[in-house]
Amino acid sequence: MKKDIKDVIKDATLPNRLVIVKLLKDDVNRISELKRRLKEREQMPVSTVYRSVNSLAKAGLVTRDGDKVSLTSAGLLLADAVECLDSLINFDYINTAIDFLLSIPSDLRFGLKYLTECDVVDLTTMGNFTLEFIRSIRKGGLYIDRVVDKEIYKLMIQKRMNGVFERVISSEDTLYPRIETEIQALKELGLSKEEINKVWQNVDLRVMDLPIQMGIIDGKYGAIMLMKGDTFTPFFVSEKRDMVRWLENIFNYYWEVADTVDVYFDGGINGIRKKIVESV
């Protein structure tokens, strides 16, 4: 019999049943254990436990074999969704996240919960963090930003001279100021044409207007700021692997759909390199 999503939600989202779903996701796999846990919490009588498990089974969210009970795939997805909503329901910046959430695939949206576990850094303090992050790079960075700052660019150029690789997604309105500021930074550093070519072999650039700014350093540290119109959040900074992996997946998705720079420069990235060498 084909299930209707409205009936599934109706059967699953009574408070008692959500408690059961959470316990089954955590570590419980027997009805007797469910009864014991719920009795300890004084959350529901035994008869309600049986009735709730049967309703969840009817909805296709759990399977039952005697005393054994476990979540189905649909039940696990429900548990993940509830866990995510539970962690975000009081998140101060949930409304600012809407444009970001709409810009990414649905399978990446649950990762927003990682922001509730991050260090929160205001924009002013993040300026110092940015310099520290760049100085610490050993292998490479992934960036989505609107930063046009000559001193930061000089530091990044020096890192690229030492083999660090960058992939950058620039907003359209900062693309040309970014190139002009890079030229100024290169002039002040006094690099030769050969050195400039080497520097620009270690960078790739694409263009897309996005409701975030983000940086990932060496696959170990990540930071993200969400934007909605003129409103923006602080930066959320973390070195937790799950958070960093989520940010990498977001970056890779945007990278695939962003415009290559040949939309803006003849010859693409080589055209930019040529313009920079000629200007310097």
CATH code of residue 27 = 1.10.10.10
Residues 52 and 101 in one domain: no
What pLDDT does residue 130 have?
82
Residue of 133 and 94 predicted with greater confidence: 94
Residue 131 neighbours by CB under 8 Å, 6+ apart: 152, 155
Q: Which residues 6+ apart lie within 8 Å of 97 measured at CB?
A: 112, 226, 228, 233
Quick one: 79 and 164 in the same domain?
Answer: no
Answer yes or no: do 164 and 190 share one domain.
yes
| 12 — pLDDT class (breaks 50, 70, 90) | low
Average confidence (pLDDT) over 263-270? 88
**Are 251 and 192 in the same domain?**
yes
276 pLDDT exceeds 70?
Answer: yes
Q: What is the mean pLDDT of residues 66-71?
A: 90
Judging by DSSP bridges, how do beta strands 203-207 and 212-217 pair with one another? unpaired
Last residue of a domain, one of 88, 116, 141: 88
- Residue 24 neighbours by CB distance under 10 Å: 22
pLDDT, tens only, 117-176 = 999 999 888 877 788 888 889 999 999 999 899 999 999 999 999 999 999 999 999 999
Mean pLDDT, range 176-200, rounded to an integer? 91
Same domain, residue pair 84 and 44: yes
26 and 70 both lie in a single domain: yes
Q: Judge if 125 and 65 occupy the same domain.
A: no
Given 47, 66, 88, which residue is the final one in a domain?
88
Q: CA 190 to CA 118: how far, in whole Å?
A: 40
For position 213, what pLDDT does the model report? Answer: 96
| pTM listed for this prediction | 0.85
Is 35's pLDDT higher than 90? no
249: Cα within 13 Å, side-chain hemisphere: 15
- Which pLDDT does position 19 carry in this prediction? 84
What was the pLDDT predicted at 8? 67
Based on the fold, state whether residues 53 and 130 are members of the same structural domain: no
Looking at residue 20, what is its pLDDT?
86
Residue finishing a domain among 53, 70, 88: 88
Please indicate, yes or no, whether residues 64 and 190 belong to a single structural domain of this protein. Answer: no
Structure tokens at 273: 């390199």
CATH number where 159 lies: 3.30.870.10
E strand spans, 146-211: 165-170, 203-207
SS3 168: strand
Q: Measured between alpha carbons, how far is residue 152 from residues 112, 128, 148, 173, 185 in Å?
A: 28, 10, 8, 19, 9
Q: What pLDDT score does 42 carry?
A: 63
Residues 151 and 240 in one domain: yes
Domain of residue 52 covers 5-88
> Same domain for 83 and 203?
no
Average pLDDT for the chain: 89
- 54, two tokens: 């049967």
Residue, of 214 and 12, whose pLDDT is higher: 214
Lowest mean pLDDT among 31-45, 51-65, 109-123, 246-260: 31-45
Query: What pLDDT is recorded for position 3?
Result: 64
pLDDT for position 257: 97
Q: 82 with 102, same domain?
A: no
What is the domain count for the chain?
Answer: 2
Burial code of 208-220, b = ≥16 C-beta within 10 A, e = fewer? eebbbbbbbbeee
* Mean pLDDT to the nearest integer, 69-86: 88
